[in-house]
């Protein structure tokens, strides 16, 4: 990619951040509109939830494949293509047609999101010099976190004033403007695909099928539990497919994923910590609305204002932690962030009851968000700094893939733990909150948060061993 100097770097980053925010908003913005879409399209709620599921599947399945393509043909070309596909998919989603059309359009939108997001971190890493990369990646982490957290809030605001179609249509003018600026600002990679290079379609197929099978298994486990024999069967099939993918990547001359990057201990540990941290970060958006509305009886708009503490703190902390990683190193900040996250979830598990004051709840949410913001940017710096420039695309794709996997596993496993513990406490199987038995929810909530704290503690322990056990160039 051609050198970029001065303010133009930040103009390019603004385009990248816009798309990072939009694509992550669209992963969750539909959640709040599911009842409305079900009513308007005259379909069941269960059928409508596939609007959420197919987006996650399409996004996750394609991001690794196009990360490889970005390293071959250039990140600019891939990014702009993905942005165009995402915008077109958003337009098609907004057409007033039946559910099957919406699902197909949603898949197209998801593929566009996966294509564009496969290049965002790579573009940032190439455009910014090493002494500014942490701050730039800090803003990238902020955009992703804000997108994940604020999707339902933005969806609620749109539904308050407009028809549900505008949840998708709002992306169209933003996408067109971003595409225009991207074409003008993002420099050429000066890459031409080597005619000898082949794309690993068998590897991509095995990987995509393993992801789809696993996600379907976890989604259905939330409804039916692991007692149904087909759930372990699907998980076993996903494991077999992923094993076939690994075998294929080890043997082919042109792998979709060069497994040699995992020989770098710094890269592998940072990727693992990404998975653990996003597992933890994604737990509260699921649990807190239930706690605030069903257990404390607060109105939805009050709940929204309380939860707003999380994105506000993330907005403030993520760029600062990225800047600090340029000055004092990233490893110590990731350790501090994971330690704070683990501590916050222990406190939530022990302190969130029917009588907890609102200001204490807000402080706990803010403390947890502070830890998440402290971790995400420096850890992304470590991921991108641990690979050579020619592998920025695939490294960024792996990071995004693992982040989404952590989020998906968190939602599924946290739901399973929650309802399992409610069932154990009340004495019979339930798949929803028992409103006249808030004690059962308090008991289950404690389990969810303490398990999540254990996940964070594992990550903090591993980063601590790396940080204090041997010298690291990222100290």
The single residue listed with the structure tokens 């990071």 is 399
**What is the pLDDT at residue 67?**
82
All residues at 6 or more sequence positions from 388 whose CB lies less than 8 Å from its CB, including other chains: none
**What is the pLDDT at residue 298?**
79
How far is it, in rounded angstroms, from Cα 296 to Cα 353?
9
Per-residue model confidence as pLDDT tens digits over 334-388: 899 999 999 999 999 999 988 899 999 999 999 998 998 888 888 888 887 787 7
Q: Is the dihedral of CA 146, 152, 157, 163 positive or negative?
A: positive
- How do the residues of the chain divide into helix, strand and coil, expressed in percent and rounded to 5? 80, 0, 20
**C-alpha closest to that of 65 among 329, 257, 323:** 257
How far is it, in rounded angstroms, from Cα 443 to Cα 317?
32
Q: What are all long-range contacts of 239-246, with beta carbons under 8 Å and residues at least 24 apart?
A: 239/210, 241/206, 241/207, 241/209, 241/210, 241/213, 242/206, 242/207, 242/210, 244/206, 245/203, 245/206, 245/207, 245/210
Per-residue model confidence as pLDDT tens digits over 290-312: 788 778 887 766 777 788 788 78
Average pLDDT, whole number, for the chain? 83
Q: Is 98 helix (H, G, I), strand (E, B) or coil?
A: coil
- Using 50, 70 and 90 to split pLDDT, how confident is the model at 39? confident
How far is it, in rounded angstroms, from Cα 53 to Cα 28?
10
User: What radius of gyration, in Å, describes the C-alpha atoms of the chain?
Assistant: 22
How far is it, in rounded angstroms, from Cα 97 to Cα 112?
21
Question: Please, what are the domains in the chain?
Answer: 1-199 (1.20.1250.20), 260-475 (1.20.1250.20)
Q: Is the dihedral of CA 464, 283, 154, 50 positive or negative?
A: positive
Least confident of 127-141, 182-196, 203-217: 182-196
CB-CB contact of 286 with 151 (8 Å): no
Whole-prediction pTM value? 0.78
Stretch 405-427: mean pLDDT: 82
Per-residue model confidence as pLDDT tens digits over 201-218: 888 899 889 988 988 887
**Residue 84 clears pLDDT 90, i.e. is over it:** yes
């Amino acid at each position: 990619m051609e050198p970029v100097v001065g303010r133009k770097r930040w103009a390019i980053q603004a385009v990248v951040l816009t798309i990072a925010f939009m694509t992550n908003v669209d992963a969750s913005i539909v959640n709040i509109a599911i009842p409305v879409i079900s009513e308007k399209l005259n379909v069941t709620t269960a059928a409508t939830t596939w609007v959420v599921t197919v987006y996650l599947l399409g996004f996750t399945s394609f991001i690794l494949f196009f990360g490889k393509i970005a390293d071959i043909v250039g990140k600019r070309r891939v990014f702009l293509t993905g942005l165009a596909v995402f915008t077109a998919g958003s337009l098609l989603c907004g057409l007033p047609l039946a559910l099957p059309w919406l699902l197909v359009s949603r898949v197209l939108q998801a593929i566009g999101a996966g294509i564009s997001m496969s290049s965002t971190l790579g573009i940032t890493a190439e455009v910014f010099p090493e002494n500014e990369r942490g701050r730039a990646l800090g803003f990238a982490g902020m955009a992703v976190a804000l997108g994940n957290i604020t999707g339902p809030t933005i969806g609620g605001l749109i539904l308050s004033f407009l028809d549900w179609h505008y949840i998708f249509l709002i992306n169209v003018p933003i996408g067109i403007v971003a595409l225009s600026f991207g074409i003008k600002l993002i420099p050429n990679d000066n890459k031409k695909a080597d005619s000898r290079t082949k794309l690993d379609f068998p590897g991509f197929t095995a990987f995509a099928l393993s992801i789809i099978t696993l996600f379907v298994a976890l989604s259905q486990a939330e409804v039916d539990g692991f007692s149904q024999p087909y759930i372990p069967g699907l998980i076993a099939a996903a494991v077999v497919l992923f094993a076939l993918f690994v075998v294929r990547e080890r043997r082919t001359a042109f792998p979709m994923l060069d497994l040699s990057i995992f020989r770098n201990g710094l890269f592998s540990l940072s990727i693992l910590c990404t998975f653990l941290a996003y597992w933890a970060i994604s737990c509260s958006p699921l649990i807190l609305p239930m706690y605030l509305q069903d257990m404390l009886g607060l109105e939805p708009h009050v709940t929204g204002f309380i939860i707003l503490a999380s994105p506000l703190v993330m907005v403030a902390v993520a760029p600062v932690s990225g800047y600090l990683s340029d000055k004092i190193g990233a490893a110590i900040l990731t350790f501090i962030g994971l330690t704070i996250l683990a501590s916050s979830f222990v406190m939530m598990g022990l302190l969130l009851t029917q009588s907890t004051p609102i200001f204490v709840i807000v402080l706990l949410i803010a403390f947890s968000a502070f830890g998440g913001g402290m971790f995400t940017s420096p850890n992304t710096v470590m991921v991108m700094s641990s690979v050579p420039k020619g592998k920025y695309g695939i490294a960024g794709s792996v990071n995004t893939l693992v982040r989404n996997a952590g989020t998906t596993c968190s939602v599924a496993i946290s739901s399973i733990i929650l309802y399992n513990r409610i069932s154990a406490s009340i004495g019979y199987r339930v798949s929803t909150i028992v409103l006249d038995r808030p004690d059962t929810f308090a008991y289950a909530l404690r389990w969810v948060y303490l398990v999540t704290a254990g996940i964070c503690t594992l990550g903090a322990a591993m980063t601590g061993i790396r940080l204090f056990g041997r010298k690291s160039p990222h100290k």
